[in-house]
């Protein structure tokens, strides 16, 4: 007997409903000897691919279906609603929002064969794309339209089941007939029993009710099937679904809101299901034959629905847009008639012809010499041959078409990834790097041996990404082109938030709890509470250690990895022929793009051709810089034509002042550059490759730098390897070199060598390759000693090198951004500030600008716009003498209105359209902004120029207007407006959203005639005087208090900075640290600029605003914390090893203004590292200093534990950090950890947990995750007035950028 087949099973992909992973369900079914299993997730087939793959692995037949909500059938009064929650949407409640579960009846659809899968996909898409987003609802006509191959199960929660429950067999029969009319005979009554009580809220899951359903089926002559409506794997998992019910409905955990009757909804064994069948049959008054019949019809349906992943789902087949879609007007070298006449079978051949034609033409253009031409032609032939063999011609043409579309829009575009290694890509204009010049090989990207589809990634300007999506979508149509989705799964912070909300914890507490954790997996919550010093010593850690959080943490950990939310993938676009919608269900994204229900991995398994169109903020920043250059009246720049050997650019890079530059601005990169001192574009490629997890993990950096600096002889292993290894002084850095070494020594082809390289990703693979490699190499006459040395290198580097093509593609924007910074620093930094591409907060970029002599120009209602703008400065700022750095002193950067807290884009548009303004009241009348926004503008100096306010000027002239006077005027204006329009407060009127009709009308044309005053002001052509006289003011302001002295003091500079932090999120007019200068001088704290002149191995003090923390992976498997501080003279980087983390990690992650004690170590001419031995909150130290001076501070510091500085840190120079997890291209090789071990630990709890990689590399589980607390790149938090003060004083006092002493009158 094959075992029972469960036909109604929800996995975690039934969002916030199912508790089990599909893989776990499959494994359990296999264990129970059930050889077929269905996955019928709610509202979609999100998990279908993962499920099908798991089934294939386990030797089980997959059955696929979906559990869909259905709309009421026409003609019946009340099909929807279950009494406790009607379908009617109630009026808006006073608080808390309306109920989110409409309680529609639900049915299960199962797919039979390829036709059924296609129908299922289309029905799911139809249900999603009609009506409201996120509330898919199937109707009978939808089902009827795609009925082929579908089976409908009508269970207790279907409209039929509900009618039976209401004891309305007549209604149930009528409804059943409706289903039969839609799909014909393929309708089953689904009998479910969780063997619960026959009375109460959930009687529909009782055997008694199941018996009624069985009887009803018998009466109507419909087959019945038995399911267990599974939603959790084991009975013990039942509490998890309760939490999910509460989370899904956004309600507190309460018996009223739970769906289950008991814990029986798990994947039951065959005997258990037989017992259920017998119980149901008995309850129906039928004998054992009835139970057998029920089981037989269930088994028979399961057999009919078994799917074959290849034949039925189409996994592994390739579909690209048809040629006549690609070339509606005919292709080069191919007439339109020929295209449309071509049969489907000839498409691939024709595509190859077109591709060859295009590449040939481009080759002729690009190659200037005959020798080049010959080499290139050979290479092209080889590549085209491979492409033709694989039948990917259409794919390349499609990508080329997309790139052409993007270029045609005037958007900056660059290729990334291994695709840059292909000459075809270069010739098609997809990639901007010449593979021949940089020694890039095609085989790393595409070879006949590769199973995986080629992957071409395109970088575009982030600001225009959606515009590009829209254009691509328009071009190919939704039948052939949809976006890829992304399933967000529970990690610790979301799990804590959702469980906390379900259990009714106060929202503020939930927030503290969640933010206390780094961004780790939910299942590691307990381990982190025990491992991490900053958590262990906190109240939470102590509560957890006492077992007092157990119930809570059990639930948090149970949610680990469950899907929680589907979103648009940041870059994936699917392109296919017209059959796309037969192969994937589609729903709408939040922005309204059609989106496949499959994520990136599923899409790859399915064999869809996916194009990554990635929005890169740096591309937008550079585009902005280029626009600014033109706007200033300077010559336009063709950035892509700039020569790659500009000496000024490399001089600037070598100073390590690379903030803002692509890929080389992080602390570790700046340190590396200081040692490396790149001189050519090739050096940049190496630099970027070295600074990757792989090279770092396998310690390539040290030998490379030693050889590069001439301290050590390059070790080329064998003369035959010189061509491969010479460029990196014998150190294996690139995948291409691994491939080259294997090919050179073993004599195999490059394609084979790449396969071998991939195989070496796992320990078993390594053994396999070794067994092959030794005989091959020895057979070719290499001595054993050489073979062994080569193998050693391969073993440790193979899985860790970096793809050179990818690095080369990256190096281009790196160089371009550095070039812009070297030649147009103001325009470049304006772009960086506008599009915020980097890892640092804007305040640090502003510092960088000031250090280059650029003036930072404050907000000005008459000059600020939507973006950071460059202005010429008549009075250049003083600039420190910095050799190698550009001089930005003729320029200033103007802050934009968009940085003002609370301002809407419509308000920004109205202000910009209304400029210039003659006065505050003029502004009030014409700009139409909310009062709080106007106040914020006043507070941050937006009207200073208009009124001649100068905070830095010492004495004020008598009668001079102050910012405070203007605040009162805003209040007057608001009062006046309110009285003019009674009943409608202007401040409370929400500004129209930018997309709304009202917003557009306001910005595009003159305002309507309804308000003549506004209309008249809008028509004014005369430029208003920049500085209105006092007379004008008095005339213009019919306000009670105008003109009289308010008696209010002007803002101090301190108050002004505080207002800037509050309103703009950054300090603009002065650096926050300026207010601590006297103390810093007294304590001999070293400014960043002077750090380099400190002696090595000396103890120094530094201080600044925290701008970044990183926890990069390092070889030892320990956690290292990199802290970057900013003190206005440049960034300071300090490293906290584990011994220093124990006492100080809490301060590092929790604080904003920090003072650090550290030990210097010189690492190169421009390299100096700081090993931290302590960290204190600057505000707290300041208080102590104010009270007791230097001596008191020394006493305070002495009370803290010391860190033994004589012990050498376990990790050294190689501990350069890698880009954060946010880097979408991070580590294309990145071997996943193969195990978790424990080693004796220093400061990290009793035993340290480590992740062990295939190469033996150990990594801390807390490396490379976003650390605890808020992101320092965001605006630092201010002491929140509304928040609990005493609480803030204790737990957040270190978390304030502002150190306010209550009652003092400011500084």
Residues 169 to 208: which contact another protein by CB under 8 A?
A: 196, 200-201
Choice between 505 and 1197, CB closer to another protein: 505
Position 505 contacts another protein (CB under 8 A): yes
Per-position DSSP letters for 572-620, written without gaps between them: EEEE--TTHHHHS-EEE-TTS-EEESS-HHHHHHHT-EEEEEEEEHHHH
Measured between alpha carbons, how far is 1193 from 1078 in angstroms, rounded to an integer?
A: 14
Choice between 555 and 1068, CB closer to another protein: 555
Q: Which residue in the set 38, 118, 187, 251 belongs to the binding site for another protein (CB under 8 A)?
A: 251
Q: How far is the CB of 227 from another protein (least distance, A)?
A: 21
Choice between 239 and 1242, CB closer to another protein: 239
Q: Which stretch binds another protein (CB under 8 A): 217-225, 246-254, 271-279, 1216-1224?
A: 246-254
Instruction: Report which of 499, 14, 498, 488 is spatially closest to residue 230, judged by C-alpha positions.
Output: 14
Position 260 contacts another protein (CB under 8 A): yes
Lookup: tokens for 52: 């099908």
Measured between alpha carbons, how far is 476 from 593 in angstroms, rounded to an integer?
A: 14
Position 83 contacts another protein (CB under 8 A): no
Choice between 550 and 1195, CB closer to another protein: 550
450 close to 755: Cβ distance less than 8 angstroms? yes
Position 1302 contacts another protein (CB under 8 A): yes
Query: Can you tell me which residue has the tokens 């979906």?
Result: 66
Question: Between residue 886 and residue 925, which ones bind another protein under the rule CB under 8 A?
Answer: none
Q: Which stretch binds another protein (CB under 8 A): 47-55, 122-130, 500-508, 641-649?
A: 500-508
Position 96 contacts another protein (CB under 8 A): yes
Q: How far is the CB of 97 from another protein (least distance, A)?
A: 5
Q: How far is the CB of 1179 from another protein (least distance, A)?
A: 16
Q: How far is the CB of 504 from another protein (least distance, A)?
A: 4
881 close to 652: Cβ distance less than 8 angstroms? no
End-to-end CA distance of the chain: 85
Choice between 89 and 1206, CB closer to another protein: 89
Position 948 contacts another protein (CB under 8 A): no
Choice between 1118 and 1296, CB closer to another protein: 1296
Q: Which stretch binds another protein (CB under 8 A): 390-398, 503-511, 761-769, 841-849?
A: 503-511
Q: Which residue in the set 1, 94, 344, 878 belongs to the binding site for another protein (CB under 8 A)?
A: 94
Position 100 contacts another protein (CB under 8 A): yes
Measured between alpha carbons, how far is 515 from 539 in angstroms, rounded to an integer?
A: 14
Instruction: Cis check for the bond before 324: say yes or no (omega within 30 of 0).
Output: no
Measured between alpha carbons, how far is 406 from 571 in angstroms, rounded to an integer?
A: 14
Q: Which stretch binds another protein (CB under 8 A): 137-145, 250-258, 704-712, 1005-1013?
A: 250-258
CA dihedral 1036, 1042, 1044, 1047 (to 10 degrees): -140
DSSP, collapsed to helix, strand or coil, labels residue 408 as: helix
Position 247 contacts another protein (CB under 8 A): no
Position 95 contacts another protein (CB under 8 A): yes
Position 985 contacts another protein (CB under 8 A): no
Position 560 contacts another protein (CB under 8 A): no
* Residue 1236 zone, left/alpha/beta (φ > 0; ψ -120 to 50; rest): beta
Choice between 989 and 1052, CB closer to another protein: 1052
DSSP, collapsed to helix, strand or coil, labels residue 466 as: helix
CA distances for 864 relative to 843, 894, 916, 1020, 1024, angstroms: 18, 6, 11, 20, 17
The length of the chain is 1307
Q: Which stretch binds another protein (CB under 8 A): 127-135, 235-243, 598-606, 1027-1035?
A: 235-243
Q: How far is the CB of 1145 from another protein (least distance, A)?
A: 18
Q: How far is the CB of 536 from another protein (least distance, A)?
A: 12
Measured between alpha carbons, how far is 754 from 743 in angstroms, rounded to an integer?
A: 9
Measured between alpha carbons, how far is 659 from 670 in angstroms, rounded to an integer?
A: 9
Q: Which residue in the set 242, 383, 628, 754 belongs to the binding site for another protein (CB under 8 A)?
A: 242
Position 1162 contacts another protein (CB under 8 A): no
Q: How far is the CB of 551 from another protein (least distance, A)?
A: 4
Instruction: Report which of 833, 867, 866, 871 is spatially closest to residue 849, judged by C-alpha positions.
Output: 833
DSSP, collapsed to helix, strand or coil, labels residue 151 as: strand
CA distances for 678 relative to 661, 673, 701, 793, 1165, angstroms: 14, 7, 14, 25, 13
Q: Which residue in the set 114, 144, 173, 250 belongs to the binding site for another protein (CB under 8 A)?
A: 250
Q: Which stretch binds another protein (CB under 8 A): 144-152, 782-790, 1002-1010, 1041-1049?
A: 1041-1049
Contacts of 1123 (CB under 8 A, 6+ apart): 1106, 1108, 1109, 1133, 1134, 1135, 1136, 1148, 1154, 1156, 1172, 1175
Q: Which stretch binds another protein (CB under 8 A): 245-253, 846-854, 1098-1106, 1199-1207?
A: 245-253
Choice between 88 and 371, CB closer to another protein: 88
Position 951 contacts another protein (CB under 8 A): no
Q: How far is the CB of 560 from another protein (least distance, A)?
A: 16
Position 530 contacts another protein (CB under 8 A): no
CA distances for 1052 relative to 248, 859, 952, 1153, 1265, angstroms: 51, 17, 9, 21, 41
Q: Which residue in the set 166, 548, 1191, 1247 belongs to the binding site for another protein (CB under 8 A)?
A: 548
Q: How far is the CB of 566 from another protein (least distance, A)?
A: 22
Relative to beta strand 1153-1164, strand 1167-1177 is: antiparallel
Q: Which residue in the set 132, 474, 509, 792 belongs to the binding site for another protein (CB under 8 A)?
A: 509
Chain CA centroid to CA 31, Å: 37
Q: How far is the CB of 529 from another protein (least distance, A)?
A: 12
Number of residues binding to another protein, judged by CB under 8 A: 82
Choice between 219 and 1287, CB closer to another protein: 1287
Q: How far is the CB of 208 from another protein (least distance, A)?
A: 16
Position 1105 contacts another protein (CB under 8 A): no
Instruction: Report which of 921, 1001, 1004, 1026 is spatially closest to residue 965, judged by C-alpha positions.
Output: 921
Lookup: tokens for 270: 């065959």
Q: Which residue in the set 99, 115, 208, 707 belongs to the binding site for another protein (CB under 8 A)?
A: 99
Position 1274 contacts another protein (CB under 8 A): no
649 close to 639: Cβ distance less than 8 angstroms? no
Measured between alpha carbons, how far is 603 from 586 in angstroms, rounded to an integer?
A: 12
Question: Between residue 924 and residue 943, which ones bind another protein under the rule CB under 8 A?
Answer: 935, 939
Measured between alpha carbons, how far is 412 from 404 in angstroms, rounded to an integer?
A: 11
Choice between 290 and 949, CB closer to another protein: 949
Q: Which residue in the set 269, 655, 977, 1046 belongs to the binding site for another protein (CB under 8 A)?
A: 1046
Measured between alpha carbons, how far is 1109 from 1121 in angstroms, rounded to an integer?
A: 7
307 close to 61: Cβ distance less than 8 angstroms? yes
Choice between 993 and 1287, CB closer to another protein: 1287
Position 474 contacts another protein (CB under 8 A): no
Question: Between residue 954 and residue 983, which ones bind another protein under the rule CB under 8 A?
Answer: 964, 967-968, 971-972
Q: Which residue in the set 308, 467, 488, 554 belongs to the binding site for another protein (CB under 8 A)?
A: 554
Position 1282 contacts another protein (CB under 8 A): yes
């Amino acid at each position: 007997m094959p075992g029972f087949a469960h036909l109604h099973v929800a996995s975690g992909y039934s969002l916030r409903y199912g508790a089990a992973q599909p893989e776990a369900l499959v494994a359990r079914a296999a264990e129970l000897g059930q050889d077929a299993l269905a996955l019928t997730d709610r509202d979609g087939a999100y998990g279908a691919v993962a499920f099908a793959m798991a089934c294939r692995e386990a030797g089980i037949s997959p059955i696929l279906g979906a559990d869909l909500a259905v709309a009421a059938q026409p003609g019946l009064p009340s099909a929807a609603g279950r009494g406790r929650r009607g379908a009617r949407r109630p009026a808006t409640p006073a608080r808390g929002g309306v109920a989110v579960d409409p309680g529609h009846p639900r049915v299960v659809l199962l797919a039979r064969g390829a036709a059924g899968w296609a129908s299922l996909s289309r029905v799911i898409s139809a249900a999603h794309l009609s009506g409201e987003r996120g509330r898919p609802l199937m109707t009978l006509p939808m089902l009827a339209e795609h009925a082929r191959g579908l089976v409908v199960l009508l269970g207790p929660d279907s409209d039929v089941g509900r009618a039976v429950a209401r004891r309305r067999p007549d209604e149930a029969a009528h409804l059943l007939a409706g289903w039969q009319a839609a799909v014909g005979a393929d309708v089953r009554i689904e009998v479910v029993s969780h063997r619960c009580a026959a009375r109460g809220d959930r009687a529909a899951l009782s055997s008694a009710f199941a018996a009624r359903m069985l009887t009803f089926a018998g009466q109507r002559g419909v087959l019945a099937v038995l399911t267990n409506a599974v939603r959790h794997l084991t009975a013990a998992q039942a509490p998890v679904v309760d939490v999910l019910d509460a989370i899904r409905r956004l309600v507190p955990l309460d018996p009223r809101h739970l769906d289950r009757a008991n814990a029986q909804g798990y994947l039951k064994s065959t005997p258990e299901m037989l017992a259920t069948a017998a119980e149901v049959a008995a309850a129906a008054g039928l004998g054992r034959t009835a139970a057998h019949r029920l089981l037989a019809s269930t088994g028979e349906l399961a057999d009919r629905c078994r799917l074959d992943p290849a034949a039925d789902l189409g996994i592994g087949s390739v579909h690209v847009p048809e040629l006549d879609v690609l070339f509606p007007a005919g292709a080069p070298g191919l007439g339109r008639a020929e295209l449309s006449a071509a049969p489907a079978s000839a498409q691939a051949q024709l595509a190859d012809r077109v591709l060859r034609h295009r590449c040939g033409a481009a080759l002729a253009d690009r190659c200037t010499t005959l020798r080049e031409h010959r080499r290139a032609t050979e290479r092209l032939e080889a590549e085209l041959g491979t492409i033709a063999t694989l039948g990917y011609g259409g794919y390349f043409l499609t990508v080329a078409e997309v790139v052409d579309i993007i270029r045609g829009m005037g958007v900056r575009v660059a290729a990334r990834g291994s695709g840059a290694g292909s000459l075809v890509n270069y010739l098609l204009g997809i990639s901007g790097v010449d593979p021949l010049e940089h020694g890039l090989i095609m085989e790393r990207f595409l070879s006949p041996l590769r199973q995986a589809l080629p992957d071409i990634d395109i970088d575009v300007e982030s600001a225009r990404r959606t515009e590009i999506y829209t254009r691509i979508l328009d071009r190919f149509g939704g039948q052939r082109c949809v976006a890829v989705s992304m399933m967000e799964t529970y990690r610790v912070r979301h799990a804590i938030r959702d469980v906390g909300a379900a259990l009714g914890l106060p929202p503020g507490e939930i927030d503290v709890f969640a933010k206390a954790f780094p961004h780790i997996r939910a299942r590691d919550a307990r381990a982190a509470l025990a491992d991490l010093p900053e958590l262990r010593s906190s109240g939470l850690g102590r509560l957890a250690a006492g077992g007092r959080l157990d119930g809570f943490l059990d639930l948090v950990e149970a949610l680990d990895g469950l899907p929680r939310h589907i979103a648009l993938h940041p870059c994936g676009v699917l392109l296919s022929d017209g059959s796309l919608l037969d192969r994937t269900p589609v729903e709408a994204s939040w922005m309204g793009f059609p989106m496949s229900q499959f994520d990136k991995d599923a899409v790859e398994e399915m064999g869809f051709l996916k194009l990554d169109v990635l929005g890169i903020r740096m591309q937008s920043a550079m585009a902005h810089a280029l626009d600014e250059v033109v706007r200033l009246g300077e010559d336009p720049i063709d950035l892509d034509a700039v020569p790659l050997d500009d000496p000024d650019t490399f001089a600037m890079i070598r100073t390590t002042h690379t903030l803002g530059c692509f890929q080389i601005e992080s602390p570790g990169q700046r340190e590396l550059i200081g040692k490396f001192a790149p001189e050519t574009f090739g050096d940049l490629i190496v630099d970027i490759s070295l600074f990757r997890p792989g090279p770092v993990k396998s310690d390539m950096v040290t030998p490379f730098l030693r050889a590069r600096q001439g301290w050590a002889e390059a070790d080329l292993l064998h003369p035959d390897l010189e061509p491969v290894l010479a460029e990196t002084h014998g150190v294996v850095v690139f995948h291409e070199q691994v491939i080259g070494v294997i090919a050179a020594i073993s004599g195999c082809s490059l394609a084979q060598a790449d396969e071998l390289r991939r195989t070496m990703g796992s320990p078993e693979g390594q053994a396999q390759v070794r067994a092959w490699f030794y005989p091959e190499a020895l057979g070719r006459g290499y001595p054993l000693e050489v073979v062994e040395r080569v193998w050693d290198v391969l073993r440790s580097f193979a899985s860790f090198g970096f793809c050179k093509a990818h690095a080369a593609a990256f190096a281009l924007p790196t160089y371009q951004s550095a070039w812009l910074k070297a030649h147009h620093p103001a325009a470049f930094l304006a772009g960086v500030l506008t599009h915020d591409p980097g890892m640092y907060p804007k305040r640090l970029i502003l510092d960088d600008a000031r250090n280059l002599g650029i003036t930072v120009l404050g907000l000005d209602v008459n000059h600020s716009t939507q973006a950071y703008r460059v202005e010429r400065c008549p009075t250049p700022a003083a600039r420190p003498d910095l050799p190698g750095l550009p001089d930005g002193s003729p320029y200033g950067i103007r802050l934009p209105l968009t940085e003002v807290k609370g301002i809407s884009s419509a308000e920004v548009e109205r202000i910009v359209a209304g400029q210039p303004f003659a006065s505050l009241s003029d502004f009030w009348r014409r700009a139409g902004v909310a009062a709080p926004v106007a106040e914020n503008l006043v507070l941050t100096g937006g009207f200073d120029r208009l009124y001649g306010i100068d905070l830095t000027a010492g004495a004020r002239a008598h009668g001079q207007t102050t910012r405070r006077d203007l605040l009162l005027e805003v209040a007057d204006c608001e009062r006046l407006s309110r009285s003019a329009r009674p009943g409608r407060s202007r401040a409370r009127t929400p500004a129209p959203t930018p997309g709304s009709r009202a917003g557009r009308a306001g910005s595009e044309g003159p305002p309507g005639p309804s308000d003549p005053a506004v209309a008249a002001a809008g028509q004014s052509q005369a430029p208003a005087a920049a500085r209105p006289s006092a007379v004008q003011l008095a005339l213009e302001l019919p306000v009670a208090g105008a003109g009289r002295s308010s008696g209010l003091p002007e803002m101090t500079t301190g108050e002004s900075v505080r207002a800037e932090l509050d309103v703009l999120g950054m300090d603009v007019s002065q650096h926050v640290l300026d207010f601590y200068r006297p103390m810093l001088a007294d304590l001999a704290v070293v400014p960043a600029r002077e750090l380099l002149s400190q002696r090595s191995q000396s103890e120094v003090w530094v201080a600044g605003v925290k701008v970044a923390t990183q926890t990069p992976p390092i070889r030892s498997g320990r956690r290292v914390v990199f802290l970057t501080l900013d003190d206005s003279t440049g960034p300071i980087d300090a490293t906290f090893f584990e011994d220093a983390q124990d006492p100080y990690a809490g301060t590092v992650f929790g604080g904003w203004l920090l003072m650090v004690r550290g030990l210097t170590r010189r690492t190169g001419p421009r390299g100096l590292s700081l090993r931290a031995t302590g960290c204190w909150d600057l505000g707290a130290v300041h208080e102590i200093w104010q009270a007791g001076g230097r001596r008191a501070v020394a006493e305070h510091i002495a009370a803290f534990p010391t860190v033994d500085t004589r012990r050498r840190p376990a990790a050294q120079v190689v501990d350069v950090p890698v880009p954060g997890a946010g880097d979408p291209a991070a580590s294309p090789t990145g071997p996943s950890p193969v195990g978790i071990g424990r080693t004796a630990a220093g400061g990290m709890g009793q035993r340290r947990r480590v992740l062990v990689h295939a190469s033996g590399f150990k990594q801390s589980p807390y490396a490379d995750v976003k650390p605890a607390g808020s992101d320092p790149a965001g605006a630092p938090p201010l002491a929140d007035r509304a928040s609990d003060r005493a609480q803030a004083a204790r737990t957040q006092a270190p978390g304030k950028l502002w150190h306010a002493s209550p009652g003092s009158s400011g500084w």
